Amino acid sequence: MLILLPPSETKRPGGAGRPFDASGLALPALAPQRSAVVDALIALSADEDAAARVLKLGPKQRSEVAVNAALRDAPTMAAVDRYTGVLFDALDAASLPSASRRWLGAHVLVHSAPFGPVGALDPIPAYRLGAGTSLPGVPALRRVWAEAVSAALGDRDPRFVLDLRSEAYVALGPVPDGIPTRYVRVVSEATDGAVRALNHFNKHAKGALVRRLADERPRISSAAGFVRWADAAGLRVRESAVGELELFA
């Protein structure tokens, strides 16, 4: 099973790893796209006012421009430790034992805007860039990433993909046809039986789900296998629309 996670806007600063290496990440065929987007971000950072406008930064966020300017020389840390926020706080990868972290490294990709999907343990620098940003110097991010990411995922050829990304990041790299995939929606059920999607708890539930998987490290190779595991784990999951699973929080 391969799990696709969204990134987070908030990130932990610093790091102790080697500087960014576009070819040293998961899905190495994406190195040209990674280099192009990083170069465009660095070039934009030469003009702080323009960068703040493009990245929609407020006065207290302008330090993010310098973060982007240093992308190629900044220290790195594992992607799953770099990101903070509701999903990654619920996952709390830093507190996992080594075997669970290795499982994350083998089974989880985090889909970033500047680097595309990266392995959970891949070293990445801090950055500021969202999926919807129109970055000068390169085509729209969807044009940069979508076809290349789909091809790279196809080359990896996982037996089953559990897609926990937001729709904005799905658009930056659809899972190719032919690979069994389920997109996960986190929902709640009212007393009258009505089902509704959740927002804040959506992220928390996804992080907690991945932590549970990393703790138990099951062997799952199909949607049916995932549903069976979830049922045994006391989680409520059901097939809904074609290609989707509902996770009840």
Distance CA 90, CA 92 (A): 5
The 10s digit of each residue's pLDDT in 8-17 is: 999 999 999 8
Closest CA to 198 of 209, 184, 187: 187
Distance CA 56, CA 48 (A): 12
CA gyration radius, the chain = 18
Q: What three-state secondary structure class fits 22?
A: helix
The 10s digit of each residue's pLDDT in 32-62 is: 999 999 999 999 999 999 999 999 999 999 9
Domain boundaries, the chain: 2-248
3-state secondary structure 23-80: HHCCCHHHHHHHHHHHHHHHHHCCCHHHHHHHHCCCHHHCHHHHHHHCCCCCCEEEHH
Residue 93: its pLDDT value, please? Answer: 98
Residue 187, φ and ψ in degrees, nearest 5: -135, 165
Mean pLDDT is lowest, of 24-28, 154-158, 197-201, for 197-201
Distance CA 80, CA 3 (A): 13
Q: What three-state secondary structure class fits 221?
A: coil
Residue 141: its pLDDT value, please? Answer: 98
Residue 190: its pLDDT value, please? Answer: 77
The 10s digit of each residue's pLDDT in 74-88 is: 999 999 999 999 999
Which amino acid is located at 174 in the chain?
P
Residue 212: its pLDDT value, please? Answer: 98
Residue 181: its pLDDT value, please? Answer: 97
pLDDT higher than 90, residue 200? no
144 class by beta-carbon count within 10 Å (0-12 exposed, 13-18 middle, 19+ buried): buried
Give percent of the chain with pLDDT exceeding 90.
92
Q: How large is the average pLDDT for residues 118-145?
A: 97
